[in-house]
Structures are given as structure tokens and as C-alpha cells.
Structure 1
Amino acid sequence: MQLEPIYSLKNPRIREWAALKQKKYRDQTGQYLIEGVRLVEEALQSDCDLEYILYNNDRMNERLHDLVAEIETRGLNLVECTEQVLAQVADTKTPQGIVAIAKKSQTSIDFAAADRAKPVILVDGMQDPGNLGTIIRTADAVDACAVIVSENTVDPYHPKVVRATMGSLFHLPVRELPVTQAIEQMKERGFQMIGSSSHNGEDYFRADLTGPLALIVGSEAHGISSELDAYVDSWVCLPMLGKAESLNAAIAASVMMYEVVRQKSIKNETV
């Protein structure tokens, strides 16, 4: 549904939407930004709640035209705006002609009903948006149960995180939760807490990762916070066979997630 076009940077709605680049306004409104043709396409194909879609005719090409037409067909709120107005809302320097205002998912994670065959990925203290986005994308690829981020981790709805997920944010539950509370709930349901470490612990391919588990991933600089140490049932690490001191946190987490997949696949084949 086409709404009234917006051509002024002083429009109060533009100011409200541009403020979503800051976490405090995302928290206050429960909204976040989705930028670019591909991500908006992914959001449309998921259960993502798109409240408004802003687009600019000067950036129109065949793909954007088809996307806008589909949005109109679905009866969603479309707002034509100038390139300057779109740039004011967007986080990127060169917007692709479309930005959506989406509502955060409010669905809670029920660990009692969770598929215990799928790992939970718990991210603690990570500040790099690209790393968190990559972890969410990998978690989607391995069909993880959910991604939980601690309160001292970068916001999963940060525009750079959203872009780095390449749409995976819309495919699985990603929630910012009090971590200790989430861990206690998972432990009550039989989940093992597997802590990832850069140096200490059992080699990841020797550890038993076949049962219900949560993989805890810390920041590259500081690892897992001391607050969570007491909850870890076992530690795993990637052996450093060459001269590299450590791996990027997102790469290390991705390797471990696929080891979980490998071990569970072998176990299922032998049952």
C-alpha cells in the first residue's frame, strides 16, 4: 500500500527511523533497519514483520522494481522518498534504493520444547558486528536451535550485524537474554555447556559433542567471561599447529559448529 511520499529530511518519521541506527532507540521501539534488495527479499520470504518499506525511484532497476511490486501485492506500507531522505535513514554510505523498518521478533525460546538434537549457540561479550553476524549465519547453516547473545555483546539488530547475517537473522531465533538465566534453564533440560577456548581444553575433534549442548563463544580478546566459567561443563579448543596464536572468533566458532554436525551425523548413522 503506497503511503504519502516523504521528500523532507525534517519529517519527524524520518528522524525516528534514522534514530534506529542507535541501540537505545531500537530497544525503545522494538524496531530495526533492514537495508538492501537482497536482505529485504529474504525478509519477505520469512516471517519477518516489516512495518514500513522506504524506496527511491532514482535507484530503480529491474530487480528493485519487481521487489517493490511484490511488496505492493502484499499490501505492506510503502513509502517513496528522495535519495537524500533514504540516505538519512540508511546506515550504509550508498544505499541500494530500499530500506525496511522491521519489528523485532518477540517469540520466546522454550528450552523445554527445543529440539535437543540441535545445538544452541551462546555468544558472550563479543563486540565485533561482523563476527556476530558470521556466527549467526553459520548457526543458520548448521540448523542450530537458537543463538543467544549476552547483554555485554553487540546488539544482534545492529545494522552491521543484520547485513553480515545475509538474511540468517530471519531464519532462526536470535535473542539477547540474561545469560546465566538461559544457561540454568538449559541445564535443567539436560544441555551440556561446552566452553570454547583459544588454548585450554580438549581438542575439539576429540570431545564428545553428540549430546544436547550449548556452545559458548567468547570475544576474541577476552574469551568467555569469568561469570560463566562456573557453568561450563567442559572446555574445547582448536589446536594451533602452525605459528598462528589463535583464530578469528567467528571462524573458530564455525569450525566447532560443523564438528557438532559431523559427530551427530556419524552417531545417527551408527544407531
Structure 2
Amino acid sequence: MLRQWRGLAEDCVLLDGFHALKHALRFGARIPLALTEDRAAALELADGLAPDLTRTLDGLLREVPPGALRGLVPRPHPTGVAALAVRGGGRVADDRTSPVVVLDNPRHLGNVGAVIRLAAGAGAAGVLTTGTVDPWHPNVVRASAGLHFATAVRRCEPSALPPGPLYALDPDGRDLRGLELPDDALVAFGSERHGLSEALRERADHLVALPMQPQVSSYNLATSVAMTLYHWMAGRAPAPGGPGRGTPA
């Protein structure tokens, strides 16, 4: 089993922990191997947090000896569960009905994962990143709790962005509160340190800014994305059967 893991790991995405595996399964990920150091405890967790997946996990999880996961993953999750998933697709539909988040040369892997988790919860059509960071890096997937599979995620340079009006967040832009973001918008956020690149700024159709008190220099990247997506969501009536109130996971 451990040999099988090592053979699959190079071509698969690591799902680090029960919650990442839970979300990946809910959104249709293909899981060739899922391991746990305590099968009974993992299934008990499923009964409490994901009863819709208990039967699936019962057939999927394989138990390994205590301490075995330390030889397979850099930092075993407290839930004692790790799995491998086939990497998802990153195609964004041209006729989409929700915005796409564009992260311009992000550097912090945890921030990228947090943004993907936000995008999944808000129903965004995708998260595209420019630059060198791999948005499917294990640390990003860990921070997203496996919600990569709930939306489109891929690396994409400014010249290859999908169609749609591009709204770029910039301190010199127009206050977001006076604008209505269209459903097919691309919403671009600059890097944590350097802001928007010239390529993204030139590509932008609109520069917009988040409201902020004087003397406050900036918001965290994930906070900026959350504020912007909430602004878009607040302008639309809740869809029947659409997203409800969430809980931490």
C-alpha cells in the first residue's frame, strides 16, 4: 500500500486531512488511494460531519500502522487521514454566470488556498493565478480544504485570460460600493507585496478600490477577495436551493 502511494504521488494531488478528502469527494474528485491511521475514528468523524459520505469512505479508506503517514506526507493532519486525488480541470466557461477571481503573481501559498476556499463558497466560476506559484501545490490544497474541486483552478497569464470585463483592485480606483459587478466579470487582485503588474493594469477595463480608513495600508489578500465577492453576492437575490449559511470546517 505504501509503495502504491509513492507510485501515485508524483501524478496526483495530496489531500491532507479528513476535510480535504470530504470536499474533494463531494465535488467529484477521483481518489485512487485514501489512507488513515485509525479507520474507526475516521468513520466516526464522517458520521458526525459528513454522513452523506460515510458509506463511500467505508469502502475507500485503508488503514496503515500508526506513524506510517509521517513517511508519506510532510506534516500529517491531526485527523490522521491523507489521500491522493487526480488533479482537476481548470476550464472557465465563456458563458459563465459568476465572476472569476484573478490573483496576479501571488506569493503566499496559504493565501491562495484561502482564496480558493472563498471562491468555492461564494460560487465564483474559478480562480486563475499568474506568475510562478503552482495553485495546486500541496500547501495551497491544504489551505483550501480540498475545495479546488468545487471551482476551476489553474495558472493563466494575462494574455490568455478568458473573455469578460476585467475589474482590477487598485488604491487609485473607483470605490467598489458605487459599482455593480457583472456576473461575467474578471476580478483581479495584485500580489501581497507589489500590487498589480503592469500587464494586468493595462488589460483592466476598470480600476476599483475597497473602502478603507485613512492610515490603514492594506487588507489581507483573502479578505480583499471576500469583500469583493460579498459585494457581488449582495447585489443578487438568493437562488432557490442556492448557498445557505456556512459553518467552519
TM-score category of the 2 structures, normalised to the smaller one: 0.7 to 0.9
Q: 1:15 to 1:70 in 2, by over 3 A?
A: closer
Whichever residue aligns with residue 166 of structure 2, its letter is: M
Number of the residue aligned with 1:192? 165
Q: CA deviation at 1:226?
A: 1.4
Larger radius of gyration: 1
Match of 2:188 among 216, 224, 231: 216
Q: CA deviation at 1:72?
A: 4.6
Q: CA deviation at 1:264?
A: 4.2
Q: How does 1:103-182 map to 2 (within 5 A)?
A: 103-106=86-89, 108-111=91-94, 114-115=95-96, 117-152=97-132, 154-182=133-161
Give the whole-Å Cα distance in 1 for the aligned partners of 2:183 and 2:147: 25
Whichever residue aligns with residue 71 of structure 1, its letter is: L
Give the whole-Å Cα distance in 2 for the aligned partners of 1:121 and 1:151: 15
Give the whole-Å Cα distance in 1 for the aligned partners of 2:7 and 2:35: 13
Q: Which runs of 5+ in 2 are unaligned?
A: 48-52, 239-249
**Deviations 1:140-169 (CA, angstroms, capped at 9, x unpaired):** 2221111112243x3222222212223322
Q: CA deviation at 1:247?
A: 0.9
Q: Which runs of 5+ in 1 are unaligned?
A: 267-271
Q: 1:83 to 1:95 in 2, by over 3 A?
A: farther
Q: CA deviation at 1:94?
A: 4.9
Answer yes or no: is the 8 Å Cα contact 2:39–2:63 preserved in 1. no
Number of the residue aligned with 1:251? 223
SS of 2:68 mapped into structure 1: helix
Give the whole-Å Cα distance in 2 for the aligned partners of 1:221 and 1:64: 39
Give the whole-Å Cα distance in 1 for the aligned partners of 2:134 and 2:40: 30
Identity of aligned residues (%): 26
Number of the residue aligned with 2:56? 70
Q: CA deviation at 1:103?
A: 0.5
SS of 2:160 mapped into structure 1: helix
Of residues 58-67 and 243-252 in structure 1, the stretch that sits farther from structure 2 once superposed is 58-67
SS of 1:175 mapped into structure 2: strand
Q: CA deviation at 1:211?
A: 5.3
RMSD: 2.7
SS of 2:79 mapped into structure 1: coil
Q: CA deviation at 1:52?
A: 1.0
Q: CA deviation at 1:104?
A: 0.5
Q: How many residues align?
A: 233
Give the whole-Å Cα distance in 1 for the aligned partners of 2:180 and 2:144: 28
TM value normalised by structure 1? 0.75
Answer yes or no: is the 8 Å Cα contact 1:14–1:85 preserved in 2. no
Q: CA deviation at 1:93?
A: 4.6
Q: CA deviation at 1:171?
A: 1.2
